[in-house]
Copies of this chain bind each other. A is one copy, B any other.
Amino acid sequence: MSIASIYEPIQEGLGMVEEKLKTFCQVDLPWIAEPLNYVLESSGKRIRPVLTLLAGRFYRYDLERLIPMATAIELFHNATLVHDDAVDKASVRRGKTAVNSLWGEGIAVLLGDYLFSVSADLVCSIGNLRVMRLFSQTLTKISSGQLRETFSAYSWRQNREDYYEQIDSKTASLFTAAAGAGAVLSEAPDEAVEALKNYGHDLGMAFQIIDDILDIIGDEGEMGKPVGSDLLQGTLTLPTILLMENHPGDNLIRELFEKRGGQAEVARVIEMARNSPIVEECYRIAAGFSTQACRALEGLPENACRRSLLDLADYVLERRK
């Protein structure tokens, strides 16, 4: 199952989103156009705008409202990436030098703000109060989650519940909003809106767990970013929480966090995780969310988009980058 076949039912819409993203880069202000272009031309998977389009295709497929919405979701997502990299002082993103490394942290902060504001303006331009509120509440949830993650960096006393809450804020909430907004704008009945929001939420949870697994077992070349970066920043994820659960007497992570260890200590933890059954356990948990996502779709009309959403839930489990 290829990503192209999953995206097939909304291919035309996705092309229009790409076009709209390009027009945002064509502002007549060189100081914005250059970094904007740099960020938006990156070949991300565009999974969030795809979610908006697929979720918006069950009832009235109104591209006039769905395209700005899907574009806004992608712009907003890029804003969070740019700010996250600035906060983490990351050097690489999607195989390219991160904005903060290339132009400095100040530009990264301001470019992120610009992306936030154009995305908000785009959502406002649709003129639908319900999606606006959904969008603004999602912003708040994400930024409150990011604050918590930063304040609890290097704290090794976090459990699975904390982790689920954390990835719900930082990832699943935007997937929820992406799918929910598509549903609302296509005038889906309330139960269908709820079903698609639930799908988005569970897909987002699975997506983030896979992301966190890849930070342990991934291939740096394929992913376009270094392995072990979560640990290096003092962020606990599902694999490392399970590792601590499984080795209560030999807490390498506590040691790593307390000593603010570097690459060598991180490599030891990664080695230990790779040689344990916890990666498999994490995949099982991710698969559980993916299955739950699919189940949420049961009451929806059977069509090509539903099949795509089901396939997408498999795809996120298999991705390697």
Q: Which chain A residues have a beta carbon within 8 Å of chain B's beta carbons?
A: 27, 29, 31-32, 83, 86-88, 105-107, 109-114, 116-118, 120-121, 123-125, 127, 129, 132-133, 135-137, 139-140, 142-144, 146-148, 150-152
Set of chain B residues within 8 Å of A83, measured between Cβ atoms: 109-110, 113
A132-B124, A132-B132, A144-B29 are known contacts. Are A150 and B110 too (CB-CB below 8 A)?
yes
Chain B min CB distance to A272 (Å):
28
Q: Is the CB of A139 within 8 A of B121?
A: yes
Instruction: Select which of B31, B116, B146 is within 8 A of A147 by beta carbon.
Output: B31
Q: How far is the CA of A142 from the CA of B127 in the complex (A)?
A: 22
Q: Is the CB of A107 within 8 A of B144?
A: no
Set of chain B residues within 8 Å of A143, measured between Cβ atoms: 110, 113-114, 116-117
Q: How far is the CA of A32 from the CA of B139 in the complex (A)?
A: 15
Known: A83-B113, A113-B139, A116-B143. 6 other contacts (CB 8 A): A105-B105, A109-B109, A112-B113, A114-B147, A121-B137, A125-B133
What are 15 A-B pairs with beta-carbon distances under 8 A? A27-B144, A29-B144, A29-B147, A31-B151, A83-B110, A86-B109, A87-B106, A88-B106, A111-B147, A113-B116, A114-B147, A116-B139, A121-B133, A125-B133, A129-B129
Q: How far is the CA of A32 from the CA of B150 in the complex (A)?
A: 11
Set of chain B residues within 8 Å of A31, measured between Cβ atoms: 147-148, 150-152
Closest residue on chain B to residue A107 by CB atoms = B150
Chain B min CB distance to A122 (Å):
8
